[in-house]
Every structure is written in structure tokens, then in C-alpha cells.
Amino acid sequence: MERLLVLVRHGQSDWNLKNLFTGWKDPDLTEKGQAEAKAAGQRLKALGLNFDIAFTSALTRAQYTCRLILNELDQNDLKTIREQALNERDYGDLSGLNKDDARAKWGEEQVHVWRRSYDVPPPNGESLKDTVARVLPYYCQEILPRVLRGERVIVAAHGNSLRALVMVLDRLMSDTIPSMELDTGVPLVYRLNADSTVESKKVLTA
């Protein structure tokens, strides 16, 4: 039994390019982001991988990334579940602001705390801890059981929602995970043991 789980952060979005806090706002992919998603699909195809089901968030940039990957795998008709629980972290009052402008308004140190602490949320937003609290139950209830049954699963989502999964899979501590970067459009290929621990992990960089 293969127990395959692939995680992919969406390709570069318009707001990534403009250095804006995005969160639950819904910009589309840039041309570079589209190319990153297609390349991710090509790298997965080169390994001979295909999938039984896909999961993505309720946001356009993750959904488009998923579609482009599946197109490269000739799996356009694959069942794809869209779920708000997999959305990016909600940056609250920071959403839509340029990161440099936010530093000018609130100060470098405060913005750094909001971005990189585990449990301090920005005003009217979510901390990474809050994001983990909604992502992990969904993973445990809906995604992990499919993987353990032998279904091959791909999840196209966001930097912070995927950090929550990587935190559990890689057994990282809460003080480590905020500083971990997930590159856009780079698949993480996990194979799990029957007890849900990681048998192997491969990062498909270009």
C-alpha cells in the first residue's frame, strides 16, 4: 500500500509579487505562478505519480494551481474537494497592506511578531496557532484516513495552512515552524507508514 500524500503551496500570486499581506483575499496567479504550477505537475509526472483525489482551499490561487498540476498529469477530471479549512492564515487588518507600509505604521518589531510568532495574531486576524487549530482537525478527519486507506492524495493550499501539516508530519516544535519557508510551486512528496508517521519525504525542487 503506497499511502502517498503530496503537499504543494500555490504558485506566485499577484499579491506575493507586490509584497502584500494576502490572507483570505483572493488574488490570482501571476504568469510566473502559473509556470511554477505547471512545472510542479511536470516534476510529479516525471516520477510517475498520479492521484485518486485532490484537496484545495476556497481561494482562487490554490484552486488554479491544483488545476494546472492536474492538467500536466492528464487528470483534469479528478475529484477535487474545495475546503475553507485549508485557507491561508487570515491576516486581519494587515490584509491588502504592503509589508513595508505595515512596518512603517506599526514598527518592524511588532510586524515581525505578528508574522513569525506562533500564537500572537495580527489585529482581527489569526495566529499560526489559530490556523493549525482549524487545519489539523480537517486533515485528521478527511485527508489522513484516505491516505491510510491507500488513496493517493494531493493537497494544493497555502504557506501557513501547509505549515500546520508539515509541523505534524515532520514533528516540528511550535517555536520552529513559524520560521520555516515553503517555496511556491514546490511539491513535498510524503509516503506514510500505517501508523500515520512519515516513511519518506522528498522535496521536488526545480
CA dist 45 and 193 (Å) reads 23
CA dist 7 and 38 (Å) reads 15
Amino acid type, 201: K
Out of 10, 36, 72, 158, the active site residue is: 10
The closest alpha carbon to 55, from 141, 120, 172, belongs to: 141
Query: What are the beta bridge partners of residue 81?
Result: 55
Out of 2, 31, 72, 88, the active site residue is: 88
Q: Judge contact between 118 and 174, C-beta under 8 A.
A: yes
Told to judge if 10 belongs to the known catalytic residues of this protein, a careful annotator would answer: yes
Give catalytic residue positions. Answer: 10, 88
